């Protein structure tokens, strides 16, 4: 389970996805946590909507931090990471991008992907 940080300096539990508000925020989340799964999404995207409950579950079930970036609000950030379609999922481990997948992945595949980096 992700650590609940309500008592610390963070205002948000890590048992739920973190809404990213810009480049600096994303960089801080990636540098502050061992494993971060970033979901680049759009509200109008059907596969993104299907993926949302999966990511909500993974946030509370795994040691990874789940971060969400709205590509409509943060087009430059999405472009900087080479996002060409939504959903695009980026996985960071120890501050480095280690995976990138475009399209919705099944929950078990995402869990296995996360655990391959959190179980080391």
Among all residues, which ones are annotated catalytic? 45, 48
Distance CA(102)–CA(27), nearest Å, equals 21
Question: CA nearest 111: which of 89, 86, 79?
Answer: 89
Give 57: exposed, middle or buried? Use CB within 10 Å, 0-12, 13-18, 19+. Answer: middle
Strand partners, 89: 39, 101
Question: CA nearest 17: which of 34, 36, 43, 32?
Answer: 36
- Please answer whether residues 93 and 35 qualify as being in contact, where contact means their C-beta atoms are separated by less than 8 angstroms: yes
């Amino acid at each position: 389970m992700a650590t609940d940080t309500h008592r610390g300096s963070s205002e948000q539990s890590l048992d739920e996805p973190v809404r990213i508000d810009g480049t600096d925020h994303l960089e801080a989340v990636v540098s502050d946590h061992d494993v971060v799964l970033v979901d680049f999404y759009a509200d109008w995207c059907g596969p993104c909507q299907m993926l949302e409950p999966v990511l909500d579950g993974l946030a509370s079930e795994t040691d990874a931090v789940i971060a969400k970036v709205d590509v409509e609000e943060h087009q430059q950030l999405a472009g900087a990471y080479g996002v060409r379609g939504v959903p695009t999922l980026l996985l960071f481990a120890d501050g480095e991008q280690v995976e990138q997948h475009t399209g919705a992945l099944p929950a078990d595949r995402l869990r296995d992907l996360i655990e391959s980096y959190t179980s080391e």
